[in-house]
Amino acid sequence: MSELRKGEEVSVEEILESFEVFRIESYGYDETPKTIAPKPSDFLVVKPKNAEEISKLLKIANEKGIAIFTRGGGTGLSAGAIPTKKGILISTERLKGIEIDVKNKVAICEAGVTLGELSKMAERHGLSFPPRPGDENATIGGMIATNAGGVRAMKYGVMRNYVLGLEAVLPDGRKIKLGGKTLKNSSGYSLLHLLVGSEGTLAIITKAVIRLMPPMKEMSMLAIPFRTIDDALDYVIDTTQIMIPMAMEFMEKRAVEIGEKVSGKRWVSREGNAHILAIFERRDEAEESAELAFANNAIDVFVASPKEQRDLLELRGKIYLGVKDKAIEILDACVPIASIAEFLKRSEEVSKRYGIDVISYGHAGDGNIHQHPLIFDGWQKVYWKFREEILRIAVEMDGAISGEHGIGEIKKEELRRFYPEIFELMKELKRLFDPKGILNPGKVVE
Ligand SMILES: Cc1cc2nc3c(=O)[nH]c(=O)nc-3n(C[C@H](O)[C@H](O)[C@H](O)COP(=O)(O)OP(=O)(O)OC[C@H]3O[C@@H](n4cnc5c(N)ncnc54)[C@H](O)[C@@H]3O)c2cc1C
């Protein structure tokens, strides 16, 4: 505590009186690769039990001008939850209340409920929660704050499509309730949707009403090696002209090899440079899609048994783990699906020009490609120019600089550069919500 007080006009005694305060060094990091993550500042951790405590804490922090950072599961990839200014980090780990309203097909979740917990609870009530960002420890608050996506987004949408209601605390401590349990709401400006994707900069989400779906159907899975990226992505486009599969994941050859190594599972073929893992809810869809794969020169089409399905999902799910320590970062530009092949080609030209090796895989069904530029000696000298060029290509293609990971600390410069007018508007909104700039200072629009 003394460090926080030292040299500061503010006193945090009031906070100390009412809250248990922790020092947890690991909360200074999230899953952003260390190469690019900012160094955490000096911070204290508070673990409020409910929205009232958060409200009380924010009221004091706002009066005293103390920086507040919010941390959910800490699985973020844009350094959004890293405390970058001396202050207090609010962990939502004690906000665990969850209740299922079966007839209305909604879950009322406190912010710290994890993806894994919500999915299990929904299944126990004969329902499902379709979004599947890749880490089950992500929290509802964090997923809403980043508008998380995942492999099933092409069919089932992203977090935004599941948030019907929100309870949040504004920087001055006011509690607000937005939306509710209805599927429709045209009652004025949708502040609810403004908070979705706001990355802890406008308000702290304490509770959400989450839309649930009927149970998932049985899965059919195809694993398909192609010789070229063009063939693989033409197959994706052809399939989505006649049906929307649950997921269509693209992996370049080296990504498959990394997934094999980390998971200990084997991919279906040693041949091919571009691989697609396609998931369907109906067998006849898988069969129809398999024909399209052959029509686009697939080397072969493998139908996975239930055990193989689990293995292949594990292989795909573990690629990030295998590449994380070798990569400078994980880029997640998103382009229209008909432009993915062109995006990858243009990216390769840029990579060659800079001499940067990039491993790519991602959600081919929605255009969100994860590119991992690999670390090399002296990367710091050229990397930022390279990255700007890659993201500029996505913007030129009517794409986005982030499809699902958010801006956080690490993409704010590109947000400002590529969308200057919007950036100014976002800053004005930030000022309106948080005139003293206490919430997640330095992130997204600063
Ligand atoms: C292996 C792996 C795979 C992944 N796969 C995917 C994927 O497929 N799709 C995808 O979208 N993401 C993916 N992610 C990224 C990550 O899981 C998501 O960004 C997730 O939404 C972050 O949730 P969290 O609870 O961990 O948030 P944190 O990392 O704790 O925080 C993220 C941001 O949200 C803010 N925040 C957290 N809680 C709140 C709250 N209650 N109120 C206001 N702001 C809050 C934080 O301040 C921060 O800005 C993956 C990450 C890993 C490690």
- Rounded CA-CA distance 101/211 in Å is 10
Burial 48-61 (b: 16+ CB within 10 A, else e): beebebbbbbbbbb
* pLDDT exceeds cutoff 60 at 9: no
Mean pLDDT of 14-36: 88
74 touches ligand 1 (CB under 6 Å) = yes
Whole-structure pTM value:
0.96
Ligand 1 atom 37 nearest Cα: 142
Q: Give the number of other CB atoms < 10 A from CB of residue 34.
A: 10
How far is ligand 1, taken at its centre, from the CA of residue 405, in Å? 7
* Residue 80 CA, ligand 1 centroid: distance in Å: 8
Query: Do 67 and 137 form a contact (C-beta atoms < 8 A)?
Result: no
Task: For each of the domains in the chain, give its residue range(s) and CATH number, in order of start.
Answer: 2-93 (3.30.43.10), 98-211 (3.30.465.10), 220-321 (3.30.70.2190), 326-432 (3.30.70.2740)
158 lines ligand 1 (CB under 6 A): no
Which residues, at least 6 apart from 105, have a Cβ–Cβ distance to it below 8 Å? 127, 211, 212, 213, 214
Ligand 1 atom showing the smallest separation from residue 168 Cα: 42
| Closest-lying ligand 1 atom to the alpha carbon of residue 158 | 11
* Mean pLDDT for the chain overall: 95
The string of DSSP letters for 185-249 reads --SSS-HHHHHTT-TTSS-EEEEEEEE-BSPPPPPEEEEEEESSHHHHHHHHHHHHHH---SEEE
Three-class secondary structure of residue 131 per DSSP: coil
The token duo for 369 is 């490609």
Statement: residue 7 has pLDDT above 50: no
Q: Which two tokens stand for residue 253?
A: 């050859």
> What pLDDT shows up at residue 15?
63
Q: What is the pLDDT of residue 217?
A: 82
DSSP string for 56-117: HHHHHHHHHT-EEEEESSS--SSSTTS--SSEEEEE-TT---EEEETTTTEEEEETT-BHHH
Rounded distance from Cα 157 to ligand 1 centre (Å): 16
Mean pLDDT, rounded, for 257-269: 97
Give the Å distance between the CA of 410 and the centre of ligand 1. 14
pLDDT at residue 412, rounded to an integer: 95
- Note the pLDDT of residue 13: 58
pLDDT tens digits for range 124-133: 999 999 999 9
Give me the pLDDT at residue 5, please: 46
